[in-house]
């Protein structure tokens, strides 16, 4: 089986001014393509060829770093594109989802603050995640292209929201101003898809 990138549900410029067209073009066509092609190359002719990406991620701790990095990069970016939406189509979290956040973090603003602080705490490249673990929400971070599905990632759970904090995701527009990039992220989140991810994670769908 050969893995393929997911199609974007919007054009490169549709996330402007929060994520610029050039960044989206390079991020999707260069970086994501590279992870995808490398993953297919590294699993070709191995017993991983017919595994799902989730199955590969769960066993990647015993594989070589190339499999770990590229399987993570492939999955993480497919996931990331789907939880973004053009600001023109943006809508606030539903009452249902706000109540979920309130039950877990006391308020949406406190959730946002904790997520932002976690994202700012990453040294170098990595990801910040909102996960479901034991049917409760938690915020955690992973280095490089690791993710919560990976065995002993230090951030185990079912990811429902993720933020890419590699410099290639924001440096053309924001340079070293990571906080500005994180602040812009809140304006292009597809909360309907995040809620759908949550419902799948707890077994509602």
Report DSSP letters for 147-192, one per residue.
-TTSTT-SS-SEEEEEEE-SGGGTHHHHTT-HHHHHHHHTTSB-HH
* Residues whose CB is less than 8 angstroms from the CB of residue 102 and which lie 6 or more positions away in sequence, other chains included: 108
pTM: 0.95
Task: Give whole-number Cα distances, 63 to 56, 157, 177, in Å.
Answer: 9, 21, 35
Question: What phi and psi, each to the nearest 5 degrees, are found at residue 188?
Answer: -135, 25
SS3 call for 51: coil
Distance in angstroms (rounded) separating the CA atoms of residues 48 and 39: 10
116-146: pLDDT as tens digits: 999 999 999 999 999 999 889 999 999 999 9
Mean pLDDT, residues 109-113 taken together: 97
164-205: pLDDT as tens digits: 999 999 999 999 999 999 999 999 999 999 999 999 998 754
> What tokens does 160 get?
């429902």
Residue 205 has what pLDDT?
41
Distance in angstroms (rounded) separating the CA atoms of residues 195 and 205: 11
Please, is 88 exposed, middle or buried when counting C-beta atoms within 10 Å of its C-beta (0-12, 13-18, 19+)?
exposed
Full set of structural domains in the chain with CATH: 20-86 (1.10.287.990), 89-201 (3.55.40.20)
* Residues whose CB is less than 8 angstroms from the CB of residue 54 and which lie 6 or more positions away in sequence, other chains included: 75, 149
């Amino acid at each position: 089986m050969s893995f393929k990138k997911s199609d974007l549900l919007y054009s490169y410029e549709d996330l402007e001014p929060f994520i610029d067209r050039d960044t989206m073009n390079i991020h999707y066509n260069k970086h994501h393509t590279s992870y995808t092609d490398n993953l297919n190359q590294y699993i070709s002719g191995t017993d991983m060829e017919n595994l799902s990406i989730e199955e590969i991620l769960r066993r990647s701790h015993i594989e070589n770093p190339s499999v770990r990095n590229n399987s993570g990069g492939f999955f993480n970016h497919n996931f990331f594109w789907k939880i973004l939406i053009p600001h023109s189509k943006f809508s606030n979290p539903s009452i249902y989802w706000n109540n979920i956040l309130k039950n877990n973090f006391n308020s949406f603003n406190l959730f946002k603050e904790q997520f932002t602080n976690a994202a700012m705490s990453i040294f170098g490249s990595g990801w910040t995640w909102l996960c479901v673990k034991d049917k409760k929400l938690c915020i955690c971070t992973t280095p490089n292209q690791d993710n919560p599905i990976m065995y002993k990632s230090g951030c185990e759970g079912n990811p429902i929201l993720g933020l890419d904090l590699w410099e290639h995701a924001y440096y053309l527009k924001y340079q070293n101003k990571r906080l500005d990039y994180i602040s812009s992220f809140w304006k292009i989140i597809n909360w309907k898809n995040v809620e759908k991810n949550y419902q799948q994670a707890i077994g509602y769908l």
